[in-house]
Amino acid sequence: MRQGHRAALLQGPWSAVTGLWRQRWPRALLAVPVLVGAVALAALCGPAPVWAQGFSAEADALAPNLLSVPGEAMLIDPVRPERPPADAPLIVPLIVPGTQLDLSADEVGLASWYGAKFHKRRTASGELFDMKALTAAHPTLPFGSLVCVRSQATGRSVVVRINDRGPHTRKRVIDLSRGAAEVLGMVGLGLKPVELFALDDGARDCPTP
């Protein structure tokens, strides 16, 4: 057999394979964008992430990592209390327990609330926190003090008992229980301005506006 014929026979099958690949190579290149587009479409059509906007089972499970109901203090408090600068002026609390109450607010500022994350946990006073009870955290008032809280946003009022310490920031004046926030209509509204009135011993009602 001649040398040229032998080379042609040896190259024949390989030539057929390479010829088929050359024919299909452009189609393979065209398939890549289609595959990428299909993957992107599947990602867009997948289930949306669950954001904690209330106290559903999903929200409670995700609460440590996601933003909760606007205004709730459980995720917006710093880990450690803020320390004022050394040259900051001394701020004396305006609420003085046992003083004669008048119709002017003893303290005005922003309020938040805290609920499920701290429910049944020990408060600074030693009692267990009940998010449905009408209680609050204040930085200076003695435990057991009664304070009238009036929302400037809704006009509603509620009397709360101080049983915890906070807020640990100078941006707010009081942290309410969820129950107190519900009475004021503040749940879901974010931080809102309130007026605080220290009640004398024996007083159980808010002053008339």
CATH for 170: 2.40.40.10
Q: Both tokens of residue 26?
A: 């452009």
Q: Which residues, 6+ apart, have CB-to-CB distance to 96 below 8 Å?
A: 106, 198
Indicate if 37 and 67 belong to the same structural domain: no
The residue among 100 and 149 whose pLDDT is bigger is 149
Indicate if 32 and 126 belong to the same structural domain: no
Q: In terms of DSSP H, where are the helices of 46-88?
A: 57-62
Cβ-contact 59, 115 below 8 angstroms: no
Indicate if 61 and 134 belong to the same structural domain: yes
Q: Is the pLDDT of residue 52 over 50?
A: no
Indicate if 140 and 103 belong to the same structural domain: yes
Residue 87 falls inside a structural domain: no
Residue 71 falls inside a structural domain: yes
Indicate if 125 and 156 belong to the same structural domain: yes
* Percent of the chain predicted with pLDDT > 70: 50
- Short-list 88, 184, 79, CA closest to 136: 184
Residue 114 falls inside a structural domain: yes
Q: Is the pLDDT of residue 97 over 70?
A: no
Indicate if 75 and 18 belong to the same structural domain: no
Residue 204 falls inside a structural domain: no
The domain total for the chain is 2
Indicate if 150 and 180 belong to the same structural domain: yes
Indicate if 156 and 110 belong to the same structural domain: yes
**Domain boundaries, position 42:** 7-46
Residue 17 falls inside a structural domain: yes
pLDDT tens-digit map of 105-144: 789 999 999 988 899 999 999 999 999 999 999 999 999 9
Indicate if 101 and 183 belong to the same structural domain: yes
- Short-list 100, 102, 118, 96, CA closest to 166: 118
Residue 208 falls inside a structural domain: no
| C-alpha dist (Å) from residue 143 to 109, 110, 140 | 20, 21, 9
pLDDT tens-digit map of 21-49: 455 555 555 555 555 565 555 555 544 43
Stated pTM of the model: 0.54
Residue 175 falls inside a structural domain: yes
Distance CA 77, CA 107 (A): 20
pLDDT of residue 134: 96
Indicate if 147 and 181 belong to the same structural domain: yes
Indicate if 140 and 187 belong to the same structural domain: yes
Indicate if 130 and 174 belong to the same structural domain: yes
Q: In terms of DSSP H, where are the helices of 46-118?
A: 57-62
Of the candidate ranges 43-57, 108-122, 161-175, the one whose mean pLDDT is the lowest: 43-57
Q: Is the pLDDT of residue 206 over 80?
A: yes
Residue 169 falls inside a structural domain: yes
